[in-house]
Structure 1
């Protein structure tokens, strides 16, 4: 198969998480769908990304203030198991019910459906990320993962 653009390569059936979902619901959702992360949406607009790493990082700080732990603590504990993109931002919320919006990584890498496959690869490489979302006017239309890019390379 010839992949010319993001639309040719993307998976259109994207599982999204609502920003208001409690963390327990998000964890169960990701596990049920067999995915390690998902885009976070608010009013159908992409606002962030949440991964199992984000949740584990958040839950791993219970009882100890995050400010008491150096950033290197988190990296050394998780870097052998998780992608750099999942380790970039640590956000801890205090009090009340913790939601996806409190724990998500707000930095999102997205492209439009006409972006070339080469440009998608460049975005992923430069960002050190494993997934890029295909969006139209801020709405998620698809996702391209590192495994999708490996499929392209494998057919060369």
Structure 2
């Protein structure tokens, strides 16, 4: 095995990404279509702003009506500049998954690593944080992903 491997040597460069402004419904469809359980979240400028998983969607679906109402008010106060009354909110809550965004359910803290990091450093960070995949970035832009499978494949070679 080549011992001086770095993150960019073992990463998968094709990364499926979600946009922070997508609806929860669109995110769900994206996961099902691509047979994935999570994705990095990017802003309109393609900067990495979070990570979202199926667990985040399930947590959203299990929220109470009041909690979903608060999220809807947040969306419309921020993006539309308007607060809706309870009647309108009740109607909108029936389609909360179409009205709430990925930004509201994603995890803001993303564990990432530079493409020049050694394979040993990648493995250490993944173990330290108890994660099975890590995003590789260059100047704040995502350029790949490393999973435990990538690391095992590099070791097997």
TM-score band, normalised by shorter chain: 0.7 to 0.9
Residue 51, structure 1, aligned to residue 28, structure 2: no
Alignment CA distance shift 1:5-1:61 (3 Å): same
Deviant stretches of 4+, over 4 Å: none
| 8 A Cα contact 1:93 1:103, kept in partner | no
Give 1:94's aligned residue: 71
Consecutive unaligned residues in structure 1, runs of 5 or more: 67-91
Consecutive unaligned residues in structure 2, runs of 5 or more: 76-98
Give 1:11's aligned residue: 12
SS at match of 1:101: helix
Give 2:142's aligned residue: 140
- How many pairs are equivalent? 130
Task: Give the Å deviation of 1:131.
Answer: 1.3
So what's the TM-score if we normalise by structure 2?
A: 0.75
So what's the TM-score if we normalise by structure 1?
A: 0.75
Alignment CA distance shift 1:93-1:7 (3 Å): farther
Structure with the higher helix share, 1 or 2: 2
CA distances 1:121-143 after superposition (whole Å, capped 9, x unpaired): 11111111121111011101000
Root mean square deviation of aligned Cα: 2.2
CA distances 1:13-58 after superposition (whole Å, capped 9, x unpaired): 1011010000110111111111111000002100000001111111
